Chains A and B, each alone.
Chain A
Amino acid sequence: MTVAPARSSGTGTKRPVPPPRAARQPWRLRLGWWDLKVTPYLIIAPFFVVFGIFGLYPLLYTAWVSLHDWQLIDGDQGFVGLANYTELLADQHFWNALGNTVSLFVLSTFPQLLAALGLAALLDRGLRGRAFWRAGVLLPNVISVAAVALVFAQLFGRDFGIINFLLGLVGVDPVDWRAETWASHLAISSMVMWRWTGYNALIYLAAMQSVPKDMYESAMLDGASRWRTFWSITVPSIRPTIMFTAIVSTIGGLQLFVEPQLFDPGGTATGTGGTDRQFQTLVMYLYEKGFRLFDAGYSSAIAWVLFMIILLVAVVNFTLTRRIASKG
């Protein structure tokens, strides 16, 4: 009893508005206060609820599964600790898949972002039928990935594919696009580039349009070439956007699945990313283990390792962005 008043007086001196006043406030005001404090949370709550159910919960559940010998149909066969992870690190198929993923990512992302930059620069100039061209570059992105994969699989057919036919015209021997490691990586990268170059170009275009035009004018007056203004004004001005697309492409690239899986003639049924796993990505390996061999525990371990790798790359990306941004 004696302590309580002392404490309230202590806080009272610091705070000019004592709490009891709140009780005497009209309900309208109180409602307003609640509105101000609580409503924002209510409005963003649905996202977090949905994220919790469909994002966080599966994430944690996957971690739990990965610590067990877990069969897809029969469920939990007992706790095994980190056994799935230690086995994974010694699994050469895993390292092979990781290598393929990185190779495919590098082969598709860098040319793709460069091409997108060029495309955006072209679109940024006063073209006739601007809307048409802008919608056009996005078209490959709205076509279902499965359809794209099927068409490309035909184009890159060994015996009757158009690409080999065209190569034949210039005297190049037919390439077995699925059997050769490099050929398969090139073919799959071309598919990824086809789908995403236009999308990234549009993002760059949006950023380019906010670059102040007077900078270009003064550069022109100084006699700078278009090439020079592009590299010295346009690219530095949209650097944050470039970093953003780089991060998003990284995440997408490391999760590459549908394109290579459907490029394999075995498809989702028996496709192991080529008969020597020459284009099997991490997610494809995850799929094989979990859904074809029913080893959910091992598959979950792959999922978590992939998650960690993406996290790591994202952190590296983020620090790079910060450094570049502060330089700018």
Chain B
Amino acid sequence: MSRTRVSKAVAIALAATAAAACGGGGAGDDGKIKLSIGLFSDFGYDNLIKEYQAAHPGIEIEQRKVKMEQHHTQLATQLAGGRGAADIVAIEEGNIAQFRQSKDKFVNLADYGAKELQSQWTPWKWAQGTDGDFVLGLGTDMGSLALCYRRDLFEAAGLPTDREAVGELWPTWEDYVKVADQFTAKKPDVKFVDAAQNVFKAALDQTEEGYFAKADDSYIADTNPKVAQAFKLAASLGEKKQTSALTPFSQDWNVALKQASFATTTCPAWALALIKAGAGDEAAGKWDIAAAPGGGGNWGGSFLAVPKQGKHPKESYELAKWLTAPEQQKRIFKETGNLPSEPAAFKDPEVTATVNEYFNAAPVGQIFGTSAENLKPTYRGTKDAPVTLVFNNALNRVETGKQTADEAFQQALGEARDAAK
């Protein structure tokens, strides 16, 4: 009868004991202050943390890494339960608006002097992490947008392979669709792009407002022509079967990368590591990076926040401040490719001179750095995450041939209204 409930309760109990076992940031036997930091994917903090510990002998830092999706759900339950959250938690850009709603569960970093740091970040990154006078999170990396393509497949399709020339093929998304047609005509057995939803998101992220109005967070997806336009464009690729109809970053997506079954994908800076991991060493030098159609855009990037339930807000703030400082962001970029969100870091000659050997020695520092400079971020509404999902599902229905673009869009509008409630 109540097996779900029992198991749920057991899960909660386990989480509670786990939290107790982790010490929840208490002082250890050796009198050291123990700080925990909750992360997902790769923030590139391993070396930095060792260094910080060496410089601060009184502090011991423990990293807790889980998958991104799990991370945010877990954080929500930990905030709800009042215990178990790490002293410092990472929050992704797509989720920050949702957590901003519950800012009373977090420490206002302005209380510890965060406002003095404001000038470090690009203004929009700072704005995303704050709510009026409340400083919720300090920016880590940002997405910035480019387009990754397979050189060998482009060559086989008779398209240019040089990254400058490829970028010139598609000044706009409409041009990108035309290139897709050219490609498909020559290589019908290879898909042009991994997923329609990536094209949709990239195109939509180049507008100032997407699903929600910047002014009052009201839902505007059904009236915003940009949404319909981007949807139609992405869906047209799906209707012509030019997409692999994959869920980005899923297991199937990795397999498809390995099998070289699609030729292009949108790639924010942080996606480079994922493409490399999926495609493997045998594809080294085959992928390259060109400018994205329609100019730059932002996709992803994160923030470090300090939940109120932690015992050492001051020490946590100090650590977060250090980890997000330009010096450290530069080093992270060189190690993992996560693009700094601070001009002092992404304009630094050391960063702009960086090339990524795996991607045919593409000058990633320059590509992402320039696109970061011209970037106008889309406003993210509180309910952005659930609404995005509705449209992604709709595009997949088109790709898999279950619905026409119009049917899918109409159904999505209906569902999105519910999701936005």
Contacts and interface: CB of A to CB of B under 8 A. Distances in A.
Query: Is this pair of chains taken from one and the same complex?
Result: yes
Interface of A: 53-55, 57-59, 62, 72-75, 150, 153-154, 157-160, 176, 179, 251-252, 255, 257, 265-270, 272, 275-276, 283, 291-294, 296, 303, 306-307, 310-311, 314
B21 to A, nearest CB: 19
Name the interface size band of chain B.
35 or more
A275 B386 contact: no
Interface string B253-297: 101100101000000000000000000000000000000000000
Contact of A275 (B1, B3, B400): B400
Contacts of B385: 292
A74 B255 contact: no
Given A54-B13, A291-B76, A292-B73, A159 B68 contact: no
B70 A268 contact: yes
Given A55-B6, A255-B4, A291 B256 contact: no
A276 B394 CA distance: 8
Contacts of A310: 1
Interface string B233-251: 0000000000011110011
A199 B332 CA distance: 50
Given A54-B9, A275-B397, A294 B250 contact: no
Question: Max chain B CB contacts within 10 Å: which of A272, A275, A307, A310?
Answer: A275
B5 interface: yes
Contact of A54 (B6, B245, B394, B396): B6
Interface string B125-138: 00000000000000
A106 B47 CA distance: 53
Contacts of B102: 73-74
A73 B246 contact: no
A252 B1 CA distance: 9
Nearest to A276: B397
B80 A75 contact: yes
B8 interface: yes
Contacts of B400: 176, 179, 275
B314 interface: no
A195 B410 CA distance: 40
Contacts of A257: 4
B179 to A, nearest CB: 23
Given A57-B9, A255-B3, 6 more contacts: A54-B6, A58-B6, A73-B102, A157-B252, A275-B397, A291-B76
A257 B247 CA distance: 20
A159 B259 CA distance: 10
For the complex of A and B, list the 7 residue pairs with the smallest distance between their C-beta atoms, beginning with the closest.
Answer: A269-B69, A265-B247, A275-B393, A265-B250, A179-B400, A54-B9, A275-B396
Contact of A159 (B73, B105, B252, B392): B252
A275 B394 contact: yes
Interface of B: 1-6, 8-10, 13, 67-70, 73, 76-77, 79-80, 98-99, 101-102, 105, 244-247, 250-253, 255-256, 259, 261, 385-386, 389, 392-394, 396-397, 400-402, 419
B69 to A, nearest CB: 3
A21 B76 CA distance: 64
Contact of B1 (A54, A269, A311): A311
B388 to A, nearest CB: 9
Nearest to A255: B4
Contacts, number: 115
B402 A276 contact: yes
B5 A55 contact: yes
Contacts of B79: 73
A58 B5 contact: yes
19 contacts: A54-B6, A55-B5, A58-B2, A73-B99, A73-B101, A73-B105, A159-B255, A179-B402, A265-B252, A268-B73, A269-B68, A270-B389, A275-B394, A275-B397, A275-B402, A276-B393, A291-B77, A303-B4, A311-B1
Contacts of B252: 157-160, 265
Contacts of A255: 3-4
Contacts of B259: 159-160
Given A266-B250, A291-B76, A272 B4 contact: no
Contacts of B10: 54
A59 B5 contact: yes
A54 B14 CA distance: 12
Contacts of B99: 73
Nearest to B79: A73
Contacts of A283: 4
Contacts of B9: 53-55, 57-58
B69 A268 contact: yes
A59 B2 contact: yes
A294 B396 CA distance: 25
Nearest to B411: A276
Given A251-B3, A303-B4, A303-B5, A150 B386 contact: no
B187 to A, nearest CB: 16
A159 B261 contact: yes
A62 to B, nearest CB: 7
Contact of B101 (A74, A150, A293): A74
A251 B1 contact: yes
A310 B246 CA distance: 36
A194 B196 CA distance: 34
A265 B70 CA distance: 14
B69 A270 contact: yes
Contacts of A75: 80
A294 B99 CA distance: 11
Contacts of A272: 389, 393
A235 B77 CA distance: 48
Nearest to A262: B251
A179 B10 CA distance: 34
Contacts of A153: 251
Which of A73, A179, A293, A307 lies at the interface centre, i.e. has the most chain B CB atoms within 10 A of its CB?
Answer: A73
Contacts of A58: 2, 5-6, 8-9
